[in-house]
Amino acid sequence: MQKILIIGATSAIAESVARLYATRSAAVFLVARNPARLEAIAADLRVRGAPQVGTYALDVNDIAAHAGMLDAAWAANTGIDTVLIAHGTLPDQAACDASVDVALREFVTNGTSTIALCTALAQRLAPGSNLAVISSVAGDRGRASNYLYGSAKAAVTAFLSGQGQRLRKQGINVLNIKPGFVDTPMTQAFKKGALWASADRVAQGIVRASDRRRAVVYLPGFWWAIMMVIKNIPEFVFRRISL
């Protein structure tokens, strides 16, 4: 039986991933800020086939509280073999530009907290485990419209690259997940188009990539080609483009 820990479990993508694991009769431990929402998702997963579902309320920015959460997850399941880190926000770049406090808080949410969790998890995971982390295509290059978010995700991406290289020798796979535009409640104000994907589609890609022990996955896959083009635009040209 798989034993799954999902941090940021109330996000649309994470909930879809949890449902997929529930249909496999996996034990699932859910972590997020909202206890009521966690319990509602847990009840749904039990109906879908999860034999054991635990919940834990946590603000990921409270880094000192991470250890207690991980202790609870390991105790509830007698260990964890697959982790998905899926929390995050989509900050207002103008608000970040106007306030150092806002900028640093958003960086902690989208970058520092994830790095802290990955560091602690690496000390607990056993050989054969999977550590999957949702970063973003935004981390591949800073853009004027969301460079605070992008810089946090770039930090996560670089961290996962190095950590994955190190942990591979221990038999632990680190998966860097780079979604493009995803239709979720967090992006409901955005106009949707052909490049947008559903949370369910992205979730299927995450589970498939984790099963295959991939190192990096762009979701949907066409984002790899898009970002190869964007990353290779010369800086003097890139600065004249509105993105």
Average of per-residue pLDDT across 211-227: 97
Average of per-residue pLDDT across 4-19: 98
* pLDDT band with cut points at 50, 70 and 90 for residue 94: very high
Sign of CA dihedral 31, 35, 37, 42: positive
pLDDT at position 191 is 78
Four-CA torsion 217, 219, 223, 228, nearest 10 degrees: -10
Average of per-residue pLDDT across 127-143: 97
pLDDT at position 163 is 98
Q: For the ranges 58-67, 128-137, 177-186, 226-235, which has the lowest average pLDDT?
A: 177-186
Nearest to 156 by CA among 132, 183, 135: 135
Q: Using one digit for the tens of pLDDT, what is the confidence trace for 26-76?
A: 999 999 999 999 999 999 999 999 999 999 999 999 999 999 999 999 999
Q: Using one digit for the tens of pLDDT, what is the confidence trace for 159-208?
A: 999 999 999 999 999 999 999 989 887 787 777 788 899 999 999 999 99
Question: Given 21, 56, 149, 218, which residue is catalytic?
Answer: 149
218 noted as active-site residue = no
**Bridge partners, 28 (sequence order):** 4, 53
Average of per-residue pLDDT across 203-226: 97
DSSP H/E element including 178: strand 173-179
pLDDT at position 190 is 76
* pLDDT band with cut points at 50, 70 and 90 for residue 145: very high
Tokens of 93: 């770049």
pLDDT at position 116 is 98
pLDDT for 239 beyond 90: yes
Contact 103, 88 (CB under 8 A): no
CA dist., res. 177 & res. 25, Å (int): 24
CA dist., res. 218 & res. 157, Å (int): 12
The Cα-based distances of 5 to 76, 82, 96, 223, 242 in angstroms read 11, 6, 31, 27, 39
Top-confidence residue, 242 or 206: 206
Average of per-residue pLDDT across 6-21: 98
pLDDT for 2 beyond 90: yes
How buried is residue 87: exposed, middle or buried, by Cβ count under 10 Å (0-12/13-18/19+)? buried
pTM attached to this predicted model: 0.95
3-class SS string, 28-89: EEEEECCHHHHHHHHHHHHHHCCCCEEEEECCCCCHHHHHHHHHHHHHHHCCCCEEEECCCC
Residues of the chain with pLDDT > 70, as a percent, come to 100
Fold held by 3-238: Rossmann fold (3.40.50)
